[in-house]
Amino acid sequence: MIQKNTLHILNGQAMYDYYRETHFLEGEMMTPFNEAMCYGNTSNDLFSDEFIELRAKVHHVTPVQYIEHTLKPLQPLLSKNFTHISLWFDADMFCQINLLTLLAWLDRTNHNHPLDLHLVGDKFNLLESFTLEAKGYDALFKQVVIDKTMPSDIYPAILKQGVALYLNYLNEDSDLMRYIQKHQNLTEKELMLALLETYTHLGLGDTQYMEIIKDYRKKVKRE
């Protein structure tokens, strides 16, 4: 049965918990997207068995654990029982690539109702809202996340900004990688904490930064 009320999809468990604790959107159906799609390998076949296997490896969990943590909360979306969907995402790169993933899935599944996109700040406060349609994002996801190329046109502008950051942040000459190279005197933990503070616009967490630091330092040793 198709429900007429709104499904609110939030970028991650922290936002979900905060909105529950503060009674924001009280009485509304909320669900978190617990992913970090800007980091690690993925599949163009969204939420398929192949996708689950790849993403579970990225997060160092079993496929069963990945399903429990990420896909089970998304069941209200995946079951397609809601006509109205409202997306709540931060402006940083991390959140914007998660947003692109969901828009691609909605496009692929022919969701033909207008979507509400709400941009939130550091404290999950509402900054700006957009109305958009899930059209063209399937192709954008493949071009950006699979083929790693920059599209000429992306709406809204904040998503375009997130995509540009995503395609650059792991390049050897990116600000992030130059910072890691410059601060080789710091311990991994010290450097990770510095990156969390310095690169808030990327939105990466401690786990991703630690892996990036370790991978870089292993590469340096091999050279």
Q: What is the CATH number of the domain that holds 31?
A: 3.40.50
Q: Is the pLDDT of residue 4 over 80?
A: no
123 and 69 within one domain: yes
Residue 2 has pLDDT above 80, yes or no: no
Please give the mean pLDDT across all residues of the chain.
95
Same domain, 46 and 73: yes
Instruction: Provide, for the chain, the percentages of residues in helix, strand and coil under a 3-state DSSP scheme, each rounded to the nearest 5.
Output: 50, 15, 35
Provide the percentage of residues in the chain whose pLDDT is more than 90: 93
Of 151, 180, 199, the one marking the end of a domain is: 151
Residues 13 and 73 in one domain: yes
Q: Quick one: which H or E segment has residue 89? A: strand 82-90
pLDDT in tens, 184-207: 999 999 999 999 999 999 999 999
Q: Which of 1, 26, 4 is nearest to 113 (CA)?
A: 4
Q: For residue 157, is it within any domain? A: no
Whether 207 is in a domain gets the answer yes
39: left (phi over 0), alpha (psi -120 to 50) or beta: beta
- Alpha-carbon span 65 to 69, nearest angstrom: 6
For residue 53, is pLDDT > 50? yes
pTM: 0.95
Domain limits for position 178: 169-222
Domain boundary among 92, 121, 151: 151
Tens of pLDDT, residues 110-129? 999 999 999 999 889 999 99
Tally of domains within the chain: 2
Q: Tell me, what's the pLDDT at 1?
A: 44
